[in-house]
Amino acid sequence: MPILPIDSGRYGTDAMKEIFDDRKKITYQLEIEAAVARSQSEINMIPKSAAQNISSIAMSGRITVKRIKQLEAKSDHDTAALVEALSERCKPAARPWVHYGLTSNDLVDTSNSLQIRDAIRIIEPKVAKMAVILADMAARYKDVPAVGRTHGQHASIISFGLKFANSALEMAKHVERIEEAKKRILICKTLGVVGTGSLMGAKALEVQRRVAKKLALFPADVATQVVPRERYAEYVFSMALIGSTLEKIAVEIRNLQRTEIGEVAEPFRKGQMGSSAVPVKRNPVKSERVTSLSKLLRSQISVVFENIPLWHERDLSNSANERFVLPTTSILLDEMIETMTKILKELYVNEERIRSNLEFTMGQIFAEFVLEALIKKGIPRFEAYRDIQRVAFAALESKTDFRDAVKSDSAISSHLTEDEIDSIFVPENHLGASDQIIRNVSSIVKKSCSRFS
């Protein structure tokens, strides 16, 4: 009976959830057993005939979840049950060499790496795709002047495209972070009970190197019985960081969709209901979902950091929670990326409202540029600042247009012509280096993400 929303199918793609399915986990661990046996036989550590039999049975699909569960019910040890299930199907001559030189966590940690490897193979192209979508949106709206807000207040003019460019760059940087982290995260460990490779002796590192190559992983340079949990902490942190960027985008959409702002809106399909009580509402529920899941995703960080200081060469205080954390992290992030991609591809941008919001303060959003014009005329900054502030506050009080108030005030208008003042109040004149910034971002995104296109 499904209990969690992940189990019920509410969240998570089938492709990602399959990676963490019991059947798939067993497949990964049997793949490791096969790779170890083949690698050991290649350097004459075990008989080639035994390795061939072990590998053939391990990859045959004949080791079932049902049989492993039956054996686990007796041994109370899931990895031992898998090894026993494999051994009982191998030829008698091969059985002594099954799991030779390994310990349980060689399978557990290396299969964790295989799961993470395949999770990244799903996530990384989606992150790159989102970077491209955002870069394209930045280019599309680069010439649209909009209100730039700080502290929730109108501050100055911004290119609306710059909002997308900021997030596009961060998504491209996430691709770079994932690439850089792979060699630290995707670790193959086959060094036995306390990390010495004791039963395999001097050849242990060569076996591990060969196994890692077969599995597209990186061999552990050093380990205890387990891979250092800093590696999992980095993976979870990296995924949560991507999630936080997605949340940043979601929060901006939610704010810009406020009724009193109305600059963007999530896609709203025919038949969709925004509220069970208010028929006219179009709530940003998908962006709110991303925000909600991001909180849960970030909470996984504290767990994996707690797992780093284990006792001596290992204890089990990390084991149970990692069965939750690694799947949860991967599945939640994949769900968030899927959701945000759908939002952005169909996001409604109301350019008319964007332009009308520039007039909300009756011209006061141009105050920065009036100050700049006076400074260029030689007026000391703080003298000009105080005059502008005085005029602006009085205009606000009397509900007077700021441009008219500037023209009427001799302390300001005596230094600026009427044409100069009118030029200041043209929003397109104040996009600064936005065009170049957006083009630079597009170039970086293209460089970082082109191999995924």
How far apart are alpha carbons 444 and 428 in whole angstroms? Answer: 26
How far apart are alpha carbons 423 and 446 in whole angstroms? Answer: 36
Residue 125, exposed/middle/buried by CB under 10 A (0-12, 13-18, 19+)?
middle
**Strand, coil or helix: what is 355?**
helix
How far apart are alpha carbons 153 and 343 in whole angstroms? Answer: 26
How far apart are alpha carbons 172 and 448 in whole angstroms? Answer: 6
In total, the chain counts a number of residues equal to 453
Residue 3, exposed/middle/buried by CB under 10 A (0-12, 13-18, 19+)?
exposed
Residue 434, exposed/middle/buried by CB under 10 A (0-12, 13-18, 19+)?
buried
CA of residue 259 relative to chain centroid, distance:
29
How far apart are alpha carbons 377 and 379 in whole angstroms? Answer: 6
**Strand, coil or helix: what is 238?**
helix
Pairing label, strands 187-188, 218-219: parallel
Catalytic residues: 151, 275
How far apart are alpha carbons 444 and 172 in whole angstroms? Answer: 7
How far apart are alpha carbons 133 and 3 in whole angstroms? Answer: 35
The DSSP code for 200 is T
**CA angle centred on 335, ends 269 and 141, rounded to 5°:** 60
